[in-house]
């Protein structure tokens, strides 16, 4: 049986670690040629690409700063020129800045918007000239778009809520071109930035129906579904995978 993404080219932002790395591995396993960006973790990015190549897949690590529109636009155009097209865009890169409103700096606020919202829009605009019918734009949002039960998360929650409106509008714009646009909204996920141990993890588990963190592979599985031919009728959706955090 052929791989579901055979012949496809994917571009993943922030793909060197965590959820992004799991998405890169899964899309490559499903047959796509995957280009992914990294900002500072060159060694980890190159190791990930090499491991995928060694397993028979195809991956390219590309240095880019998603907060810089020129850098992100240049990376997407360079990959499209090298590989001929981009079929799947996964906007995974993001930042988490926490703090109460009265002490939250404008610098942190601007970085949150630049990386979590503006970069998604910049990447979508850059990829569209290289994406044809059947294309997929997939954003990694957050269950916090719909529920922020902790103090200090207003700017982060706002940035992820913004993606819901952006996706709904872009789905209308791009539907006539046969391009789907969706969010995948993870809940607590076991990464180096949000480990499944410690007091804060236990607090989160107490809010959930399934009292554990997701694995990064579980999130990547949802992304792989939305990227697949089976999801051709799914667009404008925010698909939550959070163990019942928002239930």
Among residues 36, 38, 156, 245, the one annotated as catalytic is 156
Asked if 225 is an active-site residue, the reply is: no
Question: What residues pair up with 138 in beta bridges, in sequence order?
Answer: 90, 182
Q: For helices 42-54 and 18-29, what crossing angle results, to 10°? A: 20
Do 123 and 86 meet the contact criterion of CB atoms below 8 Å apart? no
* Rounded-to-integer distance, Cα 199 and Cα 96, Å: 19
- 3-state SS of the chain: helix, strand, coil percent to 5? 45, 15, 35
Rg of the chain, C-alpha, whole Å? 17
Residue 62 backbone phi and psi in degrees, to 5: -130, 125
> Which residues does 193 contact at the CB level (< 8 Å), separation at least 6?
18, 96
Q: What angle do CA 19, 241, 11 make, to 5 degrees?
A: 40
Please give the biggest Cα pair distance in the chain: 57
Residues with a catalytic annotation lie at 156
């Amino acid at each position: 049986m052929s791989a579901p993404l055979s012949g496809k080219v994917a571009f993943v932002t922030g793909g060197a670690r965590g959820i992004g790395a799991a998405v890169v591995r899964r899309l490559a396993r499903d047959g796509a040629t995957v280009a992914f960006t990294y900002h500072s973790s060159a060694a980890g990015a190159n190791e990930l690409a090499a491991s995928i190549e060694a397993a028979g897949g195809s991956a390219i690590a590309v240095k880019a700063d998603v907060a810089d529109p020129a850098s992100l636009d240049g990376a997407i155009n360079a990959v499209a020129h090298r590989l001929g097209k981009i079929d799947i865009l996964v906007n995974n890169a993001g930042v988490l800045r926490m703090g109460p409103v009265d002490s939250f700096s404008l610098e942190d606020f601007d970085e949150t918007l630049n990386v979590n919202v503006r970069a998604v829009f910049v990447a979508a605009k850059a990829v569209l000239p290289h994406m044809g019918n059947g294309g997929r734009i997939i954003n990694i949002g957050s269950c916090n778009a719909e529920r922020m039960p902790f103090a200090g998360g207003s700017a982060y929650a706002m940035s992820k809520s913004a993606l819901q409106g952006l996706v709904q509008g872009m789905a209308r714009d791009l539907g006539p071109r046969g391009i789907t646009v969706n969010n995948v909204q993870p809940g607590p996920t076991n990464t180096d930035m949000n480990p499944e141990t410690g007091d804060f993890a236990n607090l989160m588990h107490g809010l959930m129906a399934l009292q554990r963190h997701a694995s990064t592979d579980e999130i990547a599985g949802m992304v792989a579904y939305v990227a697949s031919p089976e999801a051709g009728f799914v667009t404008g959706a925010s698909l939550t995978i959070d163990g019942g955090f928002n239930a």
